[in-house]
Amino acid sequence: MFDQVKENNSDIKYLRSDCENCFGLCCVALPYAKSTDFAVDKEAGTPCPNLQSDHSCKIHKNLREKGYKGCVGYECFGAGQKVSQVTFGGNDWRDNPDLAKEMFDVFPIMQQLHEMLCYLNEALSLEEARPIFKELRSALENTEKLTNLSAQSILELNIPAHRGIVNDLLLKTSELVRAMVSTKKDVKRKDFLGAKLKGANLRGANLRGALLIAADLRKADMRVADLIGADLRDADLNGANLAGCLFLTQAQINSAKGDRTTKLPRALRIPDHWKED
């Protein structure tokens, strides 16, 4: 029963990006530097050169090939449409330039709140977290309320303090779930850049915030591992088993490499570029 609940809760539509109802906020509000993830430099508040007048991306189908892998691995968790359609009532920054800066400043804050909502919903779907369901529900409700505040009130929020409260609950959730893994791997290292971990036993491991960039994780056992905030850019997940991983997002998977033999949590899908690679 809880597997089904987890699938539904982790895939709540309003916590997934809906570009058709967003004013291209991630393509304008956020800065990025020329790198392997982005083809050019862009300052915050400056529209991406690929953003069209209707807020669509003219290279959307070829982002990786055009040097914009960072866009493929980004997820706003539904913050874009929330800010566009709710916080600013459908008022487009192009038509209302006086609202632009405030809208762009609110967006990354809303993104953090929606990310927390995503994790809290997943935590509430886990049977092992039942002992702290009351606290999780309270945190979820409080976070929801924050997302419905006025733009000015959102800008005044103490996000680090709120994130700290939520993070403590997510950590407790992780510990409760991973305690059920008898062969839990105790991993203290966090830097795995380019690490050779083919076939490694990482089941139930705490990989929160781990740097797994370009790591070789082929056929690794990563079941029930906590991957919140882990950087999986260009990590090789061919044949890896990530079933039941905690707090793993589609954005993380999109930034990695894998194939049809990679086992993912039910709520996540195999990225299109995996089929092509």
Under a CB-based contact definition with an 8 Å cutoff, are residues 209 and 190 in contact?
yes
pLDDT tier at 1, thresholds 50, 70, 90? very low
Residue 51 has pLDDT above 50, yes or no: yes
Under a CB-based contact definition with an 8 Å cutoff, are residues 252 and 232 in contact?
yes
> Residues 161, 229: one domain?
no
> Residues 132, 209: one domain?
no
SS3 assignment, position 212: coil
Instruction: Copy the structure tokens of residue 26.
Output: 């991630």
Under a CB-based contact definition with an 8 Å cutoff, are residues 19 and 70 in contact?
no
In whole angstroms, give the CA distance from residue 29 to residue 52.
15
pLDDT tens-place string over residues 174-203: 999 999 887 666 676 789 999 999 999 999
| Residue partners of 218: CB distance under 8 A and separation at least 6 | 198, 199, 236, 237, 238, 239, 240
Q: What is the CATH number of the domain that holds 271?
A: 2.160.20.80
Residue 226 has pLDDT above 50, yes or no: yes
Q: In the 8-state DSSP scheme, what is residue 37?
A: S
> Residues 211, 78: one domain?
no
Instruction: Copy the structure tokens of residue 238.
Output: 């061919």
Structural domains of the chain, count: 2
SS3 assignment, position 241: strand
pLDDT tens-place string over residues 115-159: 999 999 999 999 999 999 999 999 999 999 999 999 999 999 999
> Residues 147, 266: one domain?
no
Q: What is the Cα gyration radius of the chain? A: 19
